[in-house]
């Protein structure tokens, strides 16, 4: 498979698929495709894995697109202004991503549920107790809210991230919460009570425009029903 990502801040990834090659995606992610791409909807791994995907923010069913009779073309567009990133997934190079970040991947990539080991990190870290784990082998495409900024953390190196700005991290990274120091800072600093602390080793991908932040910003300007 070959792919091209273009069109930010309204991006789309266009995939050129070899004959017989298969891509998987969530329902509604396909934007356009060549006539020889055959679609099949399934739970892709049974009801157990399907329920796990549902709890991690995705749908129970996935669509499989296979190129038949020659090379095929298929495109997947982002559902929100931002970025699309291609992640090379391999054993020892799994990625943990925010809920609903998964866009599409090669069929050899497995999407499963990931629980935060520390409950506090799950409830207060901005990404929820449940995230998504990408494992297996192949290329996966994820959606980023806004612009993506990447850092490579050394062993023991940490970064403090405001709630909602963590889009993805290597499975080798750890995540915990940290309270904002000082009662005055908590009440009047405007940054909330908790921050997320991510510690390496591994790669992290941050996003500049979390959809939750956008929703909170425009909410005061939306007329309420009378």
Domain assignment of residue 88, given as a range: 2-216
pLDDT computed for residue 171 by the predictor: 95
Domain count, the chain: 1
What lies within 8 Å, CB to CB, of 214 at 6+ separation is 145
Q: Is residue 225, in this structure, part of any structural domain at all? A: no
SS3 15: strand
User: Above 50 in pLDDT, residue 192?
Assistant: yes
Helices (H) then strands (E): counts for the chain: 4, 19
- Tens-place pLDDT, residues 63-119: 999 999 999 999 999 988 999 999 999 999 999 998 889 999 999 999 888 776 554
Cα separation values, 122 from 11, 139, 169, 175, 199, Å: 29, 27, 15, 9, 15
Q: Is residue 224, in this structure, part of any structural domain at all? A: no
CATH number reported for the structural domain that contains residue 169 in this entry? 3.60.160.10
Mean of the per-residue pLDDT values for the chain? Answer: 83
pLDDT-derived band of residue 49, with 50, 70 and 90 as boundaries? Answer: low
Q: Is residue 130, in this structure, part of any structural domain at all? A: yes
Q: Is residue 63, in this structure, part of any structural domain at all? A: yes
pLDDT-derived band of residue 32, with 50, 70 and 90 as boundaries? Answer: very high
Q: Is residue 37, in this structure, part of any structural domain at all? A: yes
pLDDT computed for residue 121 by the predictor: 45
Q: Is residue 223, in this structure, part of any structural domain at all? A: no
Cα separation values, 215 from 116, 137, 209, 222, Å: 25, 35, 10, 10
Q: Is residue 161, in this structure, part of any structural domain at all? A: yes
pTM confidence score: 0.83
Q: Is residue 221, in this structure, part of any structural domain at all? A: no
User: Above 50 in pLDDT, residue 190?
Assistant: no
pLDDT computed for residue 126 by the predictor: 47
């Amino acid at each position: 498979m070959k792919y091209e990502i273009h069109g930010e801040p309204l991006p789309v990834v266009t995939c050129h698929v070899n004959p017989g090659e298969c891509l998987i995606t969530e329902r509604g992610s396909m934007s356009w495709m060549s006539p020889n791409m055959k679609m099949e909807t399934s739970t892709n791994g049974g009801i157990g894995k399907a329920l796990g995907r549902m709890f991690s923010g995705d749908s129970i069913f996935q669509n499989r697109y296979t190129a038949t009779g020659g090379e095929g073309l298929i495109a997947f567009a982002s559902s929100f202004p931002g970025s699309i990133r291609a992640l090379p997934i391999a054993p020892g190079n799994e990625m943990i991503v925010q809920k609903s970040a998964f866009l599409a991947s090669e069929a050899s990539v497995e999407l499963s549920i990931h629980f935060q080991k520390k409950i506090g990190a799950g409830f207060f870290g901005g990404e929820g107790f449940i995230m998504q784990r990408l494992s297996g082998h192949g290329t996966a495409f994820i959606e980023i809210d806004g612009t993506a900024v990447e850092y490579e953390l050394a062993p023991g190196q940490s970064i403090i991230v405001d709630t909602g700005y963590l889009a993805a991290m290597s499975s080798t990274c750890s995540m915990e919460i940290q309270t904002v120091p000082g009662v005055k800072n908590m009440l009047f600093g405007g940054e909330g009570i908790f921050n997320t602390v991510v510690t390496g080793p591994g790669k992290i991908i941050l996003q500049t425009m979390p959809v939750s932040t956008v929703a909170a910003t425009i909410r005061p300007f939306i007329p309420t029903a009378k």
